[in-house]
Amino acid sequence: MNINIDGYDINYKITTPKGRPRTAVILQGWGTDLTMYDSMAAAISDKYKVIQLDLPGFGASDEPSEAWSVDEYCDFFCKFMKELKVRKAALIGHSYGGRMIIKMAAREKLPFDISKIVLVDSAGIMPERSAAVDFKVKRYKVMKRFLTSDLIHSLFPEVIDYWLSKQGSEDYKKASPVMKAALVKAVNEDLKDIMPDVKQETLLVWGTEDMDTPLSDAHTMEELMPNAALVEFEGAGHYSFLEQPVLFRSILRSFLEADKKPARKKKGGEDQ
Q: How confident is the model at residue 37 (pLDDT cuts 50, 70, 90)?
A: very high
What pLDDT, on a 0 to 100 scale, did the predictor assign at position 139? 58
Q: Give the whole-angstrom CA distance, residue 195 versus residue 62.
A: 31
What is the rounded average pLDDT for all residues in the chain? 87
Percent of the chain with pLDDT over 90: 73
Q: What is the pLDDT of residues 186-195, one digit of tens each?
A: 999 999 999 9
Q: Give the whole-angstrom CA distance, residue 142 versus residue 133.
A: 14
Q: How confident is the model at residue 19 (pLDDT cuts 50, 70, 90)?
A: confident
Long-range contacts formed by 210-213: CB under 8 A, 24+ apart: 210/121, 210/236, 210/237, 210/238, 210/240, 211/237, 211/238, 212/95, 212/121, 212/123, 212/237, 212/238, 213/95, 213/121, 213/122, 213/123, 213/124, 213/125, 213/238
Q: What is the pLDDT of residues 135-158, one digit of tens each?
A: 554 554 555 565 567 766 676 666
Query: In sequence order, which ranges of 27-149 are alpha helices (DSSP H)?
Result: 38-42, 70-83, 96-105, 131-147
236 near 213, Cβ under 8 Å? no
Segment 80-85 mean pLDDT:
97
Q: Is the pLDDT of residue 272 over 60?
A: no
Segment 17-43 mean pLDDT:
95
